Amino acid sequence: MFIGNSMKERFLRSIIKEELKRLTEFAPGKFTNTSLDALTSNKTMSDIEVSQALDNALKGRHASGRPFLSQFRSSLHENVEINFNSDFGKILHEMNGRVSNSWNKEFPYLYMYKTGKISLEEYSVIKSIMLFTKASVATIRDPEKFDSNKAKATGSQVFLNKIVPTKNDYEIANKIMTKLSVSKNYSEPDSIFRGIVVDKSIGDNLRPFIEFNNWPISSFTLDGAIAWNFITANIFSDKIAVLIEINNPSHGSNISQFSYYRHESEVVLGKRLLIKDVDKNDDRIRLECDIIP
């Protein structure tokens, strides 16, 4: 059946108007400066504009018009629109003190995102940190290990039943936590620490100028006592405690503000390290390391 140009334009304008209405309901405040008349005028649209309008009209709903469950709609929204080229370390640092960390009493962040109080990137950073610090770190490092039953428990405990994390959420968290780990260190701490336990034979061979890879996402702390407490609780006769200390770290991100365990003062770092100095005692070793940019 042939459809005239005027009918095509009216059809497209109606799609765009309905889509804008839906988006306004889904994210109130985000589109308040957009005029329906401006977007649905008789102005000729480019192929790209038409394509995007159709894509948006198809997104987030079943064929009957019934909307996807909120967790799937959220994941689809993020998967399409989140900018993974963003400076996530800077985004996290600029939220410090501005965005409340009252998640232990409630989970306000989904509402804050939907009402335009925080951006998609900010919301995604918060959710990724909470998944990383309380949910499955193994799933963050390898989203293929996603377990839907564990995800339901995480949704209840971590997100207080506001969302149930999906595999896509873990994939997003993997990318964001990796980027936070190699980010410029905006919080500029004096030192960060990590406690490990190694065989005594390894301890005997620790010396300056050795480089090691670290993990793409590795955990440090601002509190040396926390690092020492961990290793002294896990020491055995054939092992030795090693404290890694990095002074004035150039990279890494302080995630403690949105961590499920704020008292751990956690920092993530994914850069290669160079041993600068080794201080050996009978029962422990202190490694002073530099970050390799």
Kindly state the average pLDDT of the residues 268-287: 90
What structural domains and CATH numbers belong to the chain?
5-58 (no CATH), 70-182 (no CATH), 191-291 (3.90.176.10)
CA–CA distance, 101 with 150 (Å, rounded to integer)? 24
Average pLDDT, the chain: 78
Q: Which ranges of 82-220 does DSSP label H, i.e. alpha helix?
A: 88-95, 109-114, 120-134, 137-141, 148-157, 167-182, 200-204
pLDDT at 94 over 90: yes
The pLDDT score that the predictor gives to residue 53 is 58
pLDDT at 80 over 70: no
Percent of the chain with pLDDT over 90: 28
Q: Are 43 and 10 in contact (CB under 8 A)?
A: no
The pLDDT score that the predictor gives to residue 12 is 64
The pLDDT score that the predictor gives to residue 82 is 83
Kindly state the average pLDDT of the residues 18-43: 51
Q: What is the pTM of this model?
A: 0.70
Q: Are 116 and 239 in contact (CB under 8 A)?
A: no
pLDDT at 79 over 80: no
pLDDT at 77 over 60: no
CA–CA distance, 138 with 136 (Å, rounded to integer)? 5
The pLDDT score that the predictor gives to residue 14 is 66
Location of structure tokens 């989203």: 143
The pLDDT score that the predictor gives to residue 63 is 44
Q: How confident is the model at residue 88 (pLDDT cuts 50, 70, 90)?
A: very high
pLDDT at 4 over 80: no
CA–CA distance, 120 with 25 (Å, rounded to integer)? 16
Kindly state the average pLDDT of the residues 102-110: 78
Q: How confident is the model at residue 71 (pLDDT cuts 50, 70, 90)?
A: very low
Location of structure tokens 């061979």: 205
